């Protein structure tokens, strides 16, 4: 989802010399294949958006895969970038790097100030290692590598598989199915009180390219921070999000909550004032973004049929 959005935005902005590879053409866990690819193609600017990604269920069920694959991918990409003289690299992490009891909104300085949320600590540790790796290559070699931590993303290219998806695409799928099947109720995981922040992936792509064009590693590290938050700075309870999605989809039934299932962190909202001060703001409202994503979902299932 994120990589495709960055690709779309680069084309929209007029870039033409863009190199991408699907996983079946280049497995980023294969160190020598990654190095060969970088040596052959000599990219100048690298967006590292590839990762093993999933929602709370997938993270909690497959922690070994999450830590192993993410460490391997980012190690191989950052190392190959260094070896082949990449001019600038942007590493995509995630807001789950912050401590479970992090003060809200979460500021860049809150990194490594407390224990992590246990349901996704393996993923978070891999992402923190990526941040430290970019910083280490800057410290030791002066490499222009920096990390951005986007909040929860959604939009075209999202994963709608209920076993591995994040909350927003899961809600779109559940409410759509309930509407089509004329169900009376939809049951959601958790109590609905947890609050989350959501950023449309096209806004994230715009931010990533803005940072690639305008902000250097030194701008970040000299401010005594290790990464930049990317988000809206606004959160919404899962209950209100569910109501918003239900109304956009037009499901007329009731929403029930399975409180036996975990909520994860109760609040998770980024402080995005640093990125705002550096000149970037989000543009797509949550309701507009959900409408857009629902249209994408309906097109996607039409094609599958
Ligand atoms: N989704 C979010 O809410 C969110 C929020 C904050 C940050 N992020 C960050 O954004 C980045 C991208 O996330 P996303 O949501 O776009 O996930 P995604 O849609 O699952 O994209 C990840 C991509 O990485 C590829 N990949 C995984 N393992 C690979 C390997 N060994 N070799 C080559 N390619 C591999 C996947 O290929 P396949 O399609 O073949 O699996 C997929 O295309 C991640 O770093 C994530 O931490 C995401």
- In the block, tokens 């909202």 appear at 269
Residue 224, both tokens: 């005594």
Q: Is the CB of 227 under 6 A from ligand 1?
A: no
Are 160 and 245 spatial neighbours (Cβ–Cβ below 8 Å)? no
**How far is C-alpha 133 from the chain's CA centre?**
19
Among 150, 145, 128, smallest CA distance to 5 is for 150
Separation CA 239–CA 261 (nearest Å): 15
pLDDT of 135 reads 98
Contacts of 198 (CB under 8 A, 6+ apart): 151, 152, 153, 154, 168, 232, 236, 241, 286, 289
Catalytic residues: 123
Q: Which of these, 194, 269, 293, 285, lies nearest to 238 by C-alpha position?
A: 194
Q: What is the pTM of this model?
A: 0.96
What is the spatial distance between Cα 276 and Cα 261, in angstroms, rounded to a whole number?
36
**How much is the average pLDDT of 173-202?**
96
Report the pLDDT value the prediction gives residue 165, as an integer from 0 to 100. 86
Distance 2 CA to ligand 1 centre (A): 7
Listed residue (265, 208, 279, 199) closest to 232, CA to CA: 199
pLDDT of residue 299: 96
Using the atom order of ligand 1, give the atom closest to the CA of residue 73: 31
To test the ligand 1 pocket, which listed residue (51, 67, 80, 165) has its Cβ within 8 A of the most ligand atoms?
Answer: 51
pLDDT category of residue 277 using cuts at 50, 70 and 90:
very high
| Non-local CB neighbours of 60 within 8 Å, separated by 6+ positions | 119, 120, 262
Mean pLDDT for the chain overall: 96
Q: Which numbered atom of ligand 1 lies nearest the CA of 52?
A: 27
51 lines ligand 1 (CB under 6 A): yes
* Residues 205-222, mean pLDDT to the nearest whole number: 97
Return the beta strands (E) in the chain as ranges: 45-48, 88-92, 145-150, 152-154, 185-189, 195-200, 228-230, 235-237, 254-258
Q: Which atom of ligand 1 is nearest to the CA of 150?
A: 6
**HEC states along 4-25?**
HHHHHHHHHCCCCCCCCCCCCC
Give pLDDT, residue 54. Answer: 87
State whether the beta carbon of 23 lies less than 6 angstroms from ligand 1: yes
Sign of CA dihedral 64, 65, 66, 70: positive
Per-residue model confidence (pLDDT) at position 255: 97
Do 92 and 208 meet the contact criterion of CB atoms below 8 Å apart?
A: yes
Ligand 1 near 106 CB (within 6 A): no
The answer to whether residue 305 scores a pLDDT higher than 80 is no
Average pLDDT over residues 276-298: 97
pLDDT confidence band for 57 (50 / 70 / 90): confident
Query: For 204-230, what is the mean pLDDT?
Result: 97
């Amino acid at each position: 989802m994120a990589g495709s959005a960055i690709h779309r935005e680069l084309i929209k902005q007029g870039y033409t010399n863009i190199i991408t590879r699907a996983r079946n053409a280049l497995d980023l866990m294969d160190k020598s294949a990654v190095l060969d690819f970088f040596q052959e193609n000599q990219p100048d600017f690298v967006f590292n958006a590839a990762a093993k990604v999933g929602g709370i269920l997938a993270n909690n069920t497959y922690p070994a895969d999450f830590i192993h694959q993410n460490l391997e991918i980012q190690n191989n990409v950052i190392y190959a970038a260094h070896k082949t003289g990449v001019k600038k690299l942007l590493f995509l992490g995630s807001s789950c790097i912050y401590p479970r009891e992090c003060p809200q909104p979460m500021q860049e300085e809150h990194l490594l100030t407390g224990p992590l949320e246990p349901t996704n600590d393996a993923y978070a540790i891999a992402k923190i290692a990526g941040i430290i790796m970019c910083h280490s290559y800057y410290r030791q070699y002066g490499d222009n590598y920096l990390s951005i931590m986007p909040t929860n993303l959604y939009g075209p290219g999202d994963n709608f598989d209920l076993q591995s998806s994040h909350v927003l695409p899961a809600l779109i799928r559940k409410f759509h199915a309930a509407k089509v099947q004329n169900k009376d109720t939809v049951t959601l995981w958790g109590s609905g009180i947890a609050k989350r922040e959501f950023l449309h992936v096209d806004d994230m792509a715009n931010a990533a390219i803005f940072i690639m064009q305008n902000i250097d590693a030194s701008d970040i590290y000299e401010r005594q921070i290790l990464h930049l938050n990317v988000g809206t700075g606004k959160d919404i309870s899962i209950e209100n999000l569910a109501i918003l999605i239900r109304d956009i989809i037009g499901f007329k039934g009731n929403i029930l909550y399975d409180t036996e299932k975990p909520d994860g962190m109760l609040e998770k909202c980024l402080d995005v004032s640093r990125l705002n001060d550096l000149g970037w703001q989000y543009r797509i409202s949550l309701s507009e973004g959900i409408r857009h994503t629902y249209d994408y979902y309906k097109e996607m299932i039409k094609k599958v049929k």
